[in-house]
Amino acid sequence: MSAAVLLALAVAASPLMVSPSNHGRVPPIDCGPAVCSLHETPEAALAPVLASRPTVLAVGEVHQIEGASAVPSSIKRFTGLLPLFKGLATDLVVETWITDGKCGETETKAVAEIREETARPAQTGNEVLDLGIAARGLGIMPHVLNVSCAEYATLLGTDRTLDDGKLLRMVAGKLSELALDLAKVRAKAKGARPMIVVYGGALHNDRAPAPDDAPYCFGPAVAKATAERYAELDLYVPEYIRDDEDLAKEPWFKAMDAKVRGGATLLVRTRPGSWVVVFPWTHRTSK
């Protein structure tokens, strides 16, 4: 299985009131226009997101790359959180597809270039498989994308190198199409609003993307198609993003510092329908 660029219900949990470091009330966190809260566990942080009951919940991550900090990945952590989706989510769409070699040299070339560019650790494929197995065991049907031979051919430019823009546009289109098709099928079969979870990279799911990113994002289109029953949720491992220059510009970025939040999970509501969860630091150390 080859990854292209890559899922809690309780009542809304109360923010953490006791800090592990100062044994007192946690001071307010200044997140500018965003709304931040600290929670004792990732499960508690996810509760308000799930309580919103979106038709499509698009989960994004910053992918782990080869040589990155040896801490549990977002997908591994999300797999552990899946039991909270039991009885809520009907389907899980994962940003990956199966390669079988039927498309010959074109497929081989495209897949090799994708692997080289994304530089995923060897265990990523196993973690994707573990996610699908866990979902199926909870009654959540897992799905991956289908890529045709003709589509493989379009990913390679005239010089036979990978066209990143085409890859990103293709993946975004396939993710949104599959999620919306599943939502229609489940709604008709169950007579009630389903929850389709999409798991992939923290780009395609953007609800309000920057102009340059818009061609690669399905958020606005899926939000419109679901009558705004769409939620964007980004999951961040702090060790992976500590040096991210773009995320460092976000008003909530300083709030993820271990000195600020100890071992708590940070939940950020950046705008209506858009959320960020920052997992605890593995060793509770700061940059």
Point out which residues pair with 277 in neighbouring strands.
Answer: 235, 267
8 Å CB contact between 231 and 56:
yes
Amino acid at 25: R
For residue 198, give the H/E element and its range. Answer: strand 196-201
Q: Structural domain tally of the chain? A: 1
The pLDDT assigned to 4 comes to: 33
Report if residue 17 sits inside a domain. Answer: yes
Gyration radius (Cα) of the chain, Å:
19
- Per DSSP, 256 falls in state G
The pLDDT assigned to 110 comes to: 86
Distant-in-sequence contacts of 29-33, Cβ < 8 A, 24+ apart: 29/255, 29/260, 29/261, 30/251, 30/255, 31/251, 31/252, 31/255, 31/268, 32/251, 32/252, 33/251
pLDDT tens for the chain, 287 residues long, are 333 332 222 222 223 333 333 333 445 577 888 999 999 999 999 999 999 999 999 999 987 655 555 788 999 999 999 999 999 999 999 999 988 888 999 888 888 887 776 655 556 668 989 999 999 999 999 999 999 999 998 998 777 888 899 999 999 999 999 999 999 999 888 666 789 999 998 999 999 999 999 999 999 999 999 999 999 999 999 988 988 999 999 989 988 887 777 788 999 999 999 999 999 988 655 44
Report if residue 286 sits inside a domain. Answer: no
Report if residue 115 sits inside a domain. Answer: yes
Among 235, 247, 283, 237, residue whose Cα is nearest residue 263: 283
Domain assignment of residue 113, given as a range: 2-278
8 Å CB contact between 226 and 268:
no
8 Å CB contact between 6 and 200:
yes
Report if residue 97 sits inside a domain. Answer: yes
Report if residue 273 sits inside a domain. Answer: yes
Among 80, 92, 94, 73, residue whose Cα is nearest residue 43: 80
Provide the whole-model pTM: 0.85
Report if residue 284 sits inside a domain. Answer: no
Report if residue 167 sits inside a domain. Answer: yes
Half-sphere exposure of 131 (CA within 13 A, CB side): 31
Report if residue 23 sits inside a domain. Answer: yes
